[in-house]
A and B are shown apart, each in its own frame.
Chain A
Amino acid sequence: MQPATQAWWFAAGRMLATVMSGLLVGWLFGNVWVGLGVALALHLGWQLSNLFRLEWWLRHRSFADPPDVGGVFGEIIAQIVRLHRRKRFHKQRFVQLMRQLQRSTAALPNGVVILNAQREIMWFNRMAARLLDLRRTADLGLRIENLLRSPQFARYLEIGNFASPIVIRTTMGEDCYLSLQMVPYGEGQQLLLVSDVSRQMRLEAMRKDFVANASHELRSPLTVISGYLETLSQDPALDRDLQGPVTEMRRQAERMTTIIRDLLELSRLEETDEMLGGEPIDIPALLSMLRKDVVARPVHPRDIRIRIDSDAQLLGDEPEIHSAFSNLVDNAAKYTPAEGSIEMRWWVDDEGGHFSVTDTGMGVPPEHIPRLTERFYRVDAGRSRSTGGSGLGLAIVKHVLQRHGAELEIQSTLGSGSEFICHFPLSRVQLARVPQAAEV
């Protein structure tokens, strides 16, 4: 039998004994009811005193020992003590875990700031304090954007797309760059991860400088070589055996010039990653110009169509957009046989403006699509050499689109053609002045 059940039986027995003895004493003295009443009053008094001791102990639990009472009350006290002990055990374990967690986050080489839904600072580790110049305790409860006032960070928060980190340049100190990323979690809480990327940025800058300088240095000697090759190939006195090699040399020199031109353009695009402001671009005029360029090629697909589904204009930098679009159209023309077709299309919907180039060329195997925009990436080694591309076209497209907040989507089926679509955000689209309703 369980001790608790036993205690209950015991209590019931005691109750019964009290009632019986009360009745007995009452009967002996001639008044049963008075005897019963006195017995019950005594019992009640005893219970009350037990209750009082229990309550007193609960109130002064921290220093008083549990009262020594038997029966059901003893059981209750034992239960409370057990509950209390278990709670204390869990609490200790929890505190220990918390302390461990805090210690490990504090030791992280990256800065961590915990923010609540109002972006008020709840906690931060030592590295965050160092990188962001935060002060222990004094800065708790302050909004992060009040202390981290970089306009880029403000824009990052406003846009609310926290998929990738941003890099800001701190106004303090020379060439100090921080990478910041917000990570939402739980109920509206957010984590701000901070790391010092000055070294990476410096290396990156060095690499860019190197590419730009090297291309620049290569350009001048190459101009001389191509110049002489051109006169040489047109020289009627040139030995017949040499004509083939000279033409080939001239073609390769031209290709190198294209590569260097594209490299320079890429490094210029990379120099500033900021979004450009925009001038309205006349899309129909641009597309018909691109069409003329394609037709001017010695070999070109017979069917080149332009479809303009919207008279909205695109806001952007005209030379850059021209270069991106012409790279896409060039690619399509290069990989589409003469009997194939190319379609350029411009349309606007709720999501923004879209420009697509569809061709019926050889297509790209799906495993290559994600890597197409990498520099000098080749689907197969022979392909671009025979077509004379620089291998940088799509990288340029990607950069130009990035600078305009746009994205490149590539769809392709091997053997039946590809579609390259540029998705521009609505902020880049200027709707035509004439309202649509007037045309209906």
Chain B
Amino acid sequence: METADLSHHISRRFNEDLERVRSKVLGMGGFVEQQLHKAVTALVEGDSTLGESVAMDDYQVNNMEVSIDEECSRILATRSPAAGDLRVIVAIIKTITDLERIGDEGEKIGYIASRLATMERPADKYREIKHLGRVVSEMVHDALDAFARMDVESALRVARQDRLVDEEYESIQRQAITFMMEDPRTIRRALDVMWVVRALERIGDHAKNISEYVIYMVHGKDIRHTSLDDVERELREQRPATTVGGGVKPASS
């Protein structure tokens, strides 16, 4: 394995560069995960300071995105990678965009949480949001794990889970409409809650995107806008694509 990696890249520095960027992306992912967790906790526990701190810290996510983006451009310009390495870079550039969006949605949730904390809390104590928040956090976590491990199986699982989030979104929406019809005084709060649920649903979509980039990175196959069953059948037939770069092992090894 070692010799294969060394001969693969004439320059070992290149390998290190790629690995470092990948680690930075995952570090950014870790921060975004924490932001999301904090934002949902702030909402569920009615902690306005925590919500504000999430909104305040979003600039760090943006900084990380800019710095990783710059590094990717530098690698593209100086090393002109090909095949698997190029796919890794392209996937990273796309992944950080989605991570940054997740950060923005987290910021939104944090902001709304700090506002909702001053209002009367509903009887169910935002149980649905807590549940949805956990599902979505897990999706982001698993998508990043799949990214770290180059694990197509888990990536596909994350992509499948998005459907569950969509269903949950529908059901919370119906519930909110019922509340609003029953008691118009709750409309303001219910609208805020809908914003949060909408943000969580979007985060689920971004997690799905990230897992799609993982599949693209490993198999060199763009699976956006195709049905997951087709993708899975096709992937089972073929083995992991030609060369996967950057000293990265496909999960099947």
A residues apposed to B, CB below 8 Å: 118, 133, 135, 138-139, 141-143, 145-147, 149-151, 153-154, 171-172
In the assembled complex, B6 has its CB within 8 A of some CB on chain A? no
Bound-complex Cα distance A141 to B251 (A): 11
B residues apposed to A, CB below 8 Å: 1, 19, 22-23, 26-27, 29-31, 33-34, 36-37, 137-138, 141, 144-145, 148-149, 151, 249, 251
Q: Which residues of B contact A151 (CB under 8 A)?
A: 27, 30-31, 34
Bound-complex Cα distance A149 to B37 (A): 13
Bound-complex Cα distance A172 to B26 (A): 17
- CB pair B149–A139 under 8 Å, yes or no, is yes
Bound-complex Cα distance A330 to B22 (A): 53
In the A-B complex, the 6 residue pairs with the smallest Cβ-Cβ separation, listed nearest first, are: A149-B30, A146-B148, A146-B26, A171-B37, A151-B31, A171-B33
- CB pair A142–B137 under 8 Å, yes or no, is no
- CB pair A143–B19 under 8 Å, yes or no, is yes
- CB pair A145–B37 under 8 Å, yes or no, is no
| Most chain B beta-carbon contacts within 10 A, residue among A139, A146, A154 | A146
- CB pair B138–A145 under 8 Å, yes or no, is no
30 chain-A/chain-B pairs, Cβ below 8 angstroms? A118-B19, A135-B149, A138-B149, A138-B151, A138-B251, A139-B149, A141-B1, A141-B249, A142-B148, A142-B149, A143-B19, A143-B23, A145-B23, A145-B26, A145-B27, A146-B22, A147-B145, A147-B149, A149-B26, A149-B27, A149-B29, A149-B30, A149-B31, A149-B33, A149-B144, A150-B30, A153-B30, A154-B27, A154-B30, A172-B137
Given A145-B23, A171-B37: 13 more A-B contacts, CB < 8 Å: A135-B149, A139-B149, A141-B249, A145-B26, A146-B22, A147-B148, A149-B26, A149-B31, A151-B31, A171-B33, A171-B137, A172-B138, A172-B141
- CB pair B34–A171 under 8 Å, yes or no, is yes
Which B residue sits closest to A152, measured CB to CB? B34
Bound-complex Cα distance A150 to B38 (A): 13
Which B residue sits closest to A143, measured CB to CB? B23
Which B residue sits closest to A272, measured CB to CB? B49
Q: Which residues of A contact B141 (CB under 8 A)?
A: 171-172
For residue A133, give the distance in angstroms from its CB to the closest CB of chain B: 8
The B interface, classified by DSSP as helix, strand, loop or mixed, is helix
| Most chain A beta-carbon contacts within 10 A, residue among B22, B30, B138, B141 | B30
Bound-complex Cα distance A171 to B30 (A): 9
Bound-complex Cα distance A377 to B31 (A): 40
For residue A150, give the distance in angstroms from its CB to the closest CB of chain B: 6
- CB pair B26–A150 under 8 Å, yes or no, is no
Which A residue sits closest to B147, measured CB to CB? A146
Which B residue sits closest to A149, measured CB to CB? B30
- CB pair B23–A146 under 8 Å, yes or no, is yes
Q: Which residues of B contact A145 (CB under 8 A)?
A: 23, 26-27
For residue B215, give the distance in angstroms from its CB to the closest CB of chain A: 17
Bound-complex Cα distance A142 to B34 (A): 22
For residue A206, give the distance in angstroms from its CB to the closest CB of chain B: 17
Which A residue sits closest to B35, measured CB to CB? A151
Q: Which residues of B contact A171 (CB under 8 A)?
A: 33-34, 36-37, 137, 141
Bound-complex Cα distance A10 to B33 (A): 82
Q: Which residues of B contact A146 (CB under 8 A)?
A: 22-23, 26, 148
Q: Which residues of A contact B151 (CB under 8 A)?
A: 138
For residue B146, give the distance in angstroms from its CB to the closest CB of chain A: 11
For residue A185, give the distance in angstroms from its CB to the closest CB of chain B: 23
For residue A389, give the distance in angstroms from its CB to the closest CB of chain B: 31
Which B residue sits closest to A119, measured CB to CB? B23
Which A residue sits closest to B253, measured CB to CB? A138
For residue B47, give the distance in angstroms from its CB to the closest CB of chain A: 11
Bound-complex Cα distance A146 to B249 (A): 14
Bound-complex Cα distance A145 to B29 (A): 11
Q: Which residues of A contact B249 (CB under 8 A)?
A: 141
For residue A142, give the distance in angstroms from its CB to the closest CB of chain B: 6
Q: Which residues of B contact A118 (CB under 8 A)?
A: 19
Which B residue sits closest to A137, measured CB to CB? B253
Bound-complex Cα distance A354 to B197 (A): 50
Q: Which residues of B contact A143 (CB under 8 A)?
A: 19, 23
Q: Which residues of B contact A154 (CB under 8 A)?
A: 27, 30
Q: Which residues of B contact A150 (CB under 8 A)?
A: 30, 34
Bound-complex Cα distance A138 to B37 (A): 27
For residue B50, give the distance in angstroms from its CB to the closest CB of chain A: 10
For residue A156, give the distance in angstroms from its CB to the closest CB of chain B: 12
Bound-complex Cα distance A153 to B29 (A): 13
Which A residue sits closest to B247, measured CB to CB? A141
Which A residue sits closest to B34, measured CB to CB? A151
Bound-complex Cα distance A34 to B33 (A): 93
For residue B156, give the distance in angstroms from its CB to the closest CB of chain A: 16
For residue B213, give the distance in angstroms from its CB to the closest CB of chain A: 16
Which B residue sits closest to A154, measured CB to CB? B27
Bound-complex Cα distance A146 to B148 (A): 6
Q: Which residues of B contact A149 (CB under 8 A)?
A: 26-27, 29-31, 33, 144
For residue A391, give the distance in angstroms from its CB to the closest CB of chain B: 30
For residue B30, give the distance in angstroms from its CB to the closest CB of chain A: 3
Bound-complex Cα distance A79 to B20 (A): 53
Which A residue sits closest to B27, measured CB to CB? A154
Q: Which residues of A contact B251 (CB under 8 A)?
A: 138
Q: Which residues of B contact A153 (CB under 8 A)?
A: 30
Which B residue sits closest to A146, measured CB to CB? B148
Bound-complex Cα distance A172 to B137 (A): 8
For residue A118, give the distance in angstroms from its CB to the closest CB of chain B: 8
Q: Which residues of A contact B148 (CB under 8 A)?
A: 142, 146-147
Q: Which residues of A contact B138 (CB under 8 A)?
A: 172
Bound-complex Cα distance A147 to B141 (A): 10
Bound-complex Cα distance A135 to B153 (A): 14
For residue B123, give the distance in angstroms from its CB to the closest CB of chain A: 21
Which B residue sits closest to A140, measured CB to CB? B249
Bound-complex Cα distance A118 to B19 (A): 10
Q: Which residues of B contact A133 (CB under 8 A)?
A: 145
Bound-complex Cα distance A415 to B12 (A): 65
For residue B18, give the distance in angstroms from its CB to the closest CB of chain A: 12
Bound-complex Cα distance A153 to B1 (A): 29
